[in-house]
Structure 1
Amino acid sequence: MRGWAGQGKIMGMRTWILHIDMDAFFASVEQMDNPELKGKPVAVGGTSDRSVVSAASYEVRKYGVRSAMSVVKARKLCPEIIMVPGRMGRYKEISHLAMDVLREFSPTVEQASVDEAYLDGTGLERLFGPIDEVGRRIKERMKEVTGLTCSVGAAPVRFLAKIASDMDKPDGMFIVRHEEVGEFLRTLPVGRIPGVGAKLLDVLKRLGVRTCGDILLKPGEYWEDRLGKYGSALFDRARGIDPTPVTPHEAAKSCSAENTFSEDTTDRALLRKWLLAQSERVGEDLRRHGYKGRTVTLKIKYSDFSQITRSKSLDGRTDNTGVIYETACALLDQVKLPRSVRLIGVGVSNFEARARQVTLFEEGPAGKEATSELDKAVDAVRRKFGGKAVTRVELLGFKKKPTNSAD
């Protein structure tokens, strides 16, 4: 096999990238918050036949249940399955704690999703000892702060770190050391490489490729001729080359919430209640991160899956729940409903951090400052006593039963 051509060292130090993946995150949060669910086959998602599984505990995965699977199929595989509704606000809360833990170890953390992140571990051995010790400390601290377990993968390059984190789940740690990269890749199934999907995998199988070692039996030009830029990238990965750095994300550019209904509807009063509930979620998220936005967007998906969006730019930026809701309702009033509605959502974009000094020429919407203070008070109560501690009069008795939600 040809020699590994990875990055090696930076300024005399061995480079390390770690990938941290929370174990069965949504389901684990539900089991932590409700001890009666521990050890039981739990899945997060809706309860209707139109629903899909958003996340599955390890207890239910052994039956073959996976995320994105229909609830109908999941129940056939595991009749004892316990479906619980998702709580994205709670998952984000724990996610923030998890990312804060990682930043205790390195300033260079790239959050890849709500439950996983990359961390630049170059030089951490000088602070914490061997990379094994770095991983162990991260796992211990994560458990201490969040109450949940995570799996850690470490390698000289990014894509190998991600593969490694999945090698010893749950609550595991797997390290691909610099001198082990070539042998590790030689027998690694090519489908384990991030980005190699079903279509490309079929093509590779027809070409006789099963492992990364098989790729290196042909020169790079061979793969470039047959697969173009994908061939070049694939050849690099088979040799352990991945120049992608760990890059902390820029500030978010938008914040939104949307829900798919268990039954399509044309009831505008019901749609407004959903917009109010979503505006609360968006407003709280904006205030928690210290952002205000100028543009409010309404999203509607009809029963035939056609979709429209309508937006309005405000005179000033806002994080105010009432302003978001009123603007979304005004946009809804302008929309005809030729078909029943399957999904509705609201979002805020065109951000600017609140820390910036507001000028005389950029004031918030008039008459809303008192309500903004009320929003902050409600946020504080909910953080301390839970999301149901305070409920708006308009939402009393309102039961949220969507098939799926995202925010």
Structure 2
Amino acid sequence: MIFCVDMDAFFASVEKASKPHLKDKPVAVIGAKERTVVTTACYIARKYGVKTGMSKYEAEKMCPFINMVVGNNRKYTYISSQIMDFFKTLTDKVEVYSVDEAFLQIPDEEAVDAIVDIKNYVKKHFGITCSVGAGKSKLVAKMASGINKPDGSLVISDDKTIDFLDSFKLEDIWGIGKKLSERFYNTGVFNTADIRKLGREKLCKMFGKNGHYYYMMAYGDDREGIRVEDETVKSIGHSMTFPEDVRDTRMFNAYLLQLCEMVSGRARRHNVSGRTIVLSIRF
């Protein structure tokens, strides 16, 4: 079974855990510069409309009593590395997807106990929570991890996978997004059930080799399984699919900062450096 373990509002949660007086208060993590943006906000702040990418002035307008905390990236990457190392005591199949998220492959018979162990470890050692999704693939696990946030878990059995995926709009399916979903909508395809009806052959005619992948997705299958890092690291990269089109430069920069921290954190763990940086933008 594949797990997706996602820390809940990771940066903000770490700050609240290290500053007990902020426990029940709205918190936003920001950069050190005067004209900076929110990199993440706790769930209390989100209820007031505070979002990633907002300027701190916009956040204060939405929530006048919000507590702004300058981020400490070294602290976040250190805690992340400790959590990832714990995952590797449970299984050797661990894919570090980002600084606050990972995929694990766990034997089916150990799944329930592993979820409890993971959640207990994170809460006991760092005072934060995580949400766990589990299913037949990374796709299903990723979708399941977001259902009962924060501090939740959801296991999707194989026989429930198709019904589970069919319950989502295409734009909410991990890996599809708004722009691709609009192409599907224009052809009368509105969910994964419609993708299966369309069939592999028609999908390949419409989308080329990606059509085969979309057909697999409609059944809850992945293009690839857990990617375990080799001992010899030749390259390190991370990608992120935005929940919606991003036109605001400040929001783009906030996401870019998160990606940079993910990459640099992994580089430090492997004690490597690089000479070439590549930024890919897909639109």
TM range (shorter): 0.7 to 0.9
Q: 1:188 to 1:254 in 2, by over 3 A?
A: closer
- 3-state SS, counterpart of residue 212 of structure 2: helix
Q: Do the aligned partners of 2:165 and 2:220 also contact (CA within 8 Å) in 1?
A: yes
Counterpart of 1:146, as a letter, is F
> Following superposition of structure 1 onto structure 2, how do residues 50-65 of structure 1 map, counting pairs within 5 Å?
50-65=35-50
1:45 aligns with 2:30: yes
1:84 aligns with 2:69: yes
What does residue 331 of structure 1 align with?
none
In the superposition, the TM-score normalised over structure 2's length comes to 0.79
Greater fraction of residues in helix: 2
Q: CA deviation at 1:209?
A: 2.9
Greater fraction of residues in strand: 1
Q: Do the aligned partners of 2:170 and 2:177 also contact (CA within 8 Å) in 1?
A: no
> Following superposition of structure 1 onto structure 2, how do residues 15-26 of structure 1 map, counting pairs within 5 Å?
16-26=1-11
Q: Do the aligned partners of 1:97 and 1:145 also contact (CA within 8 Å) in 2?
A: no
Q: Do the aligned partners of 1:98 and 1:146 also contact (CA within 8 Å) in 2?
A: no
- 3-state SS, counterpart of residue 174 of structure 1: strand
In the superposition, the TM-score normalised over structure 1's length comes to 0.56
Q: 1:231 to 1:29 in 2, by over 3 A?
A: same
1:214 aligns with 2:194: yes
Aligned counterparts of 2:81 and 2:132: Cα–Cα separation in 1: 18
Q: CA deviation at 1:230?
A: 3.0
1:134 aligns with 2:136: no
Specify every segment of 5 or more residues in structure 1 that has no aligned partner in the other structure, as ranges.
1-15, 256-281, 300-407
What does residue 71 of structure 1 align with?
56
Q: 1:254 to 1:167 in 2, by over 3 A?
A: same
Q: CA deviation at 1:59?
A: 0.5
Q: CA deviation at 1:49?
A: 6.5
Q: Do the aligned partners of 2:32 and 2:71 also contact (CA within 8 Å) in 1?
A: no
Structure 1, 159-168 or 208-217: larger mean CA deviation:
208-217
Q: 1:116 to 1:289 in 2, by over 3 A?
A: closer
What does residue 105 of structure 2 align with?
120
Higher relative contact order (CA 8 A, sep 6+): 2
What does residue 405 of structure 1 align with?
none
Counterpart of 2:140, as a letter, is L
Q: CA deviation at 1:140?
A: 1.3
Which structure has the bigger radius of gyration? 1
Aligned length: 249
1:300-342 per-residue CA deviation (whole Å, 9 max, x = no partner) reads xxxxxxxxxxxxxxxxxxxxxxxxxxxxxxxxxxxxxxxxxxx
1:35 aligns with 2:15: no
- 3-state SS, counterpart of residue 222 of structure 1: helix
Q: CA deviation at 1:285?
A: 9.6
Q: 1:124 to 1:211 in 2, by over 3 A?
A: closer
Q: Do the aligned partners of 2:133 and 2:155 also contact (CA within 8 Å) in 1?
A: yes
Q: Do the aligned partners of 1:31 and 1:38 also contact (CA within 8 Å) in 2?
A: yes
- Correspondence for 1:146 among 126, 141, 149: 126
Aligned counterparts of 1:166 and 1:93: Cα–Cα separation in 2: 24
Superposition RMSD in Å:
2.7
Q: CA deviation at 1:76?
A: 2.7
